[in-house]
Amino acid sequence: MNSYIKLEVRNAFPELERLVRNKPLIYLDNAASTLKHNFVIDQITQHYKMDAANIHRGVHTLSEEGTIQYEETRDIVQKFINASKREEIIFTKGTTESINLVANSFGEKFFNEGDIILISTMEHHSNIVPWQMVAQKRNAHVIEIPITDQGEISIQGFEKLLDQYGDKIKMVSMAHISNSLGTINPIKYFISLTRQKAKQAKFLVDAAQSIAHLRTDVQDLDCDFLAFSAHKVYGPTGVGVLYGKYDILDQMPPYQGGGDMIDIVSFQGTTYNDLPHKFEAGTPHIAGVIAFKECFKFLDNVGLENIKTHEAFLCNYATEKLSKIPELKILGPTNLENKSAVISFTIENAHPQDIGTLLDQQGIAIRTGHHCTQPLMKRLGVTATARASFAIYNTTEEIDRLYDGLIKTCELL
């Protein structure tokens, strides 16, 4: 255990106690999904055991209690990301659905023939494909913002595109942190550049990888949309958030039709509910949203500054340690100031899948593959990497075991 992390933090994650292949689990796949906090698990169990009922529509006690708890999470998220109105927080299934919602609803109404959508080479597929799909329908074009060999967005390349396409640009959508490389993009600066040079453009921040690691203030960033998932913040799967500026969301048509999103339904025509319900058709993941609030309480309790310090410490420690393995090459920014706690690497003459399998035999969980970023892999000249990603509960002892595991892997391969 190192000084930045207290034992009670680790104790809050029961899965850390399990064995994998008869060895204590070392979980280093946090960029894919984090482990779940005890309070989240307790809240979900409590809901299904004692409180289960549908929300928003009932006058009975259980429905009213559930509605209050569900709506409380909205208030907590609003405060956590400093949105100016609670109606700007839409619950979705996750980042993917949040981006699809904007692409479909905003895109179908506001994209016209010849319009430009800018996304970077390092985006996750869920921040590429929805734009391609809507671009095809609206005869718009998705254009790639180039990156450098170190896996950082080329500022010059971005400025050039903004100058070239100017008012034709209707959307810029960009990850705050790359899931494959850990690159922290200077998102606030990119938003201000966009405001100066492409006045018609809206800016969506994919915060899937940043929300649990960096302070997020949507008013300070001045982004138009921001998307994230609960399962990367120590919370449940199947829950996510779309933040959108009220005036923009208000102009957007509903994304899905069904219960809860309507005002009056008739065969002559239907009118829609107000924000945020206009975008929350059908019965949501009630238990998940209720439990999600525990994640923000946890992050606030530990403190995002402490989390950042701890994870930066782990990233430095791991980078230094893994760099001692001659066959191993780390991809991504070399300046660790611009990097979150993700280490993507290759080992000479070893397929990443074999690395992952051999580490699993030692109880160590890492991710291997293209990480849903095939264009990025192509740009870096690889088909896949191995990726270790850290969270608040990881320790230097675990990195030592990763190092030992990799030495063993190199001997075997």
Ligand X SMILES: Cc1ncc(COP(=O)(O)O)c(C=O)c1O
* Residue 105 beta carbon to ligand X: minimum distance, rounded to whole angstroms: 17
* Residue 95 beta carbon to ligand X: minimum distance, rounded to whole angstroms: 4
340 binds ligand X (CB under 6 A): no
Exposed e or buried b per residue across 346-384, where buried means at least 16 C-beta atoms within 10 angstroms of its C-beta: bbeebebeebbebbbebbbbbbbbbbbbebbbebbeeeb
Q: Which is nearer to ligand X, 88 or 206 (CB)?
A: 206
36 binds ligand X (CB under 6 A): no
- Asked if 401 and 26 touch (Cβ cutoff 8 Å), the reply is yes
CA–CA separation, 3 and 5 (whole Å): 6
CA–CA separation, 76 and 80 (whole Å): 6
List binders of ligand X among 162-201 (CB under 6 A).
Answer: 175, 179
- CB count in 10 Å sphere of residue 199: 10
- Contacting range for ligand X; rule: CB under 6 A; set: 121-129, 157-165, 268-276, 284-292: 121-129
* Residue 265 beta carbon to ligand X: minimum distance, rounded to whole angstroms: 30
127 binds ligand X (CB under 6 A): yes
- Asked if 39 and 297 touch (Cβ cutoff 8 Å), the reply is yes
- Name which position in 87, 206, 224, 311 contacts ligand X (CB under 6 A): 206
229 binds ligand X (CB under 6 A): yes
**Helix, strand or coil, per DSSP, at residue 144:** strand
Nearest alpha carbon to residue 240 among 33, 394, 42, 21 = 33
CA–CA separation, 31 and 24 (whole Å): 20
273 binds ligand X (CB under 6 A): no
Active-site annotation holds for 223: no
DSSP run (H or E) holding 326: none
- Contacting range for ligand X; rule: CB under 6 A; set: 38-46, 90-98, 272-280, 335-343: 90-98
124 binds ligand X (CB under 6 A): yes
Q: Which of 223, 295, 315, 372 is catalytic?
A: 372
Q: Which is nearer to ligand X, 239 or 406 (CB)?
A: 239
Question: Cα separations (Å) of 65 from 48, 131, 241?
Answer: 13, 39, 22
The residues with which 328 forms a beta bridge, in sequence order, are 347
* Residue 218 beta carbon to ligand X: minimum distance, rounded to whole angstroms: 17
- Contacting range for ligand X; rule: CB under 6 A; set: 89-97, 190-198, 380-388, 402-410: 89-97
344 binds ligand X (CB under 6 A): no
- Contacting range for ligand X; rule: CB under 6 A; set: 74-82, 93-101, 334-342, 361-369: 93-101
Q: Do β-strands 23-24 and 19-20 pair in parallel, antiparallel, or remain unpaired? A: antiparallel
> Considering all CA atoms of the chain, what is the largest pairwise distance in Å, rounded to the nearest integer?
72
Catalytic residues: 372
Where along the sequence are the contacts to ligand X (CB under 6 A)? Answer: 94-96, 124, 126-127, 175, 179, 206, 208-209, 229, 231
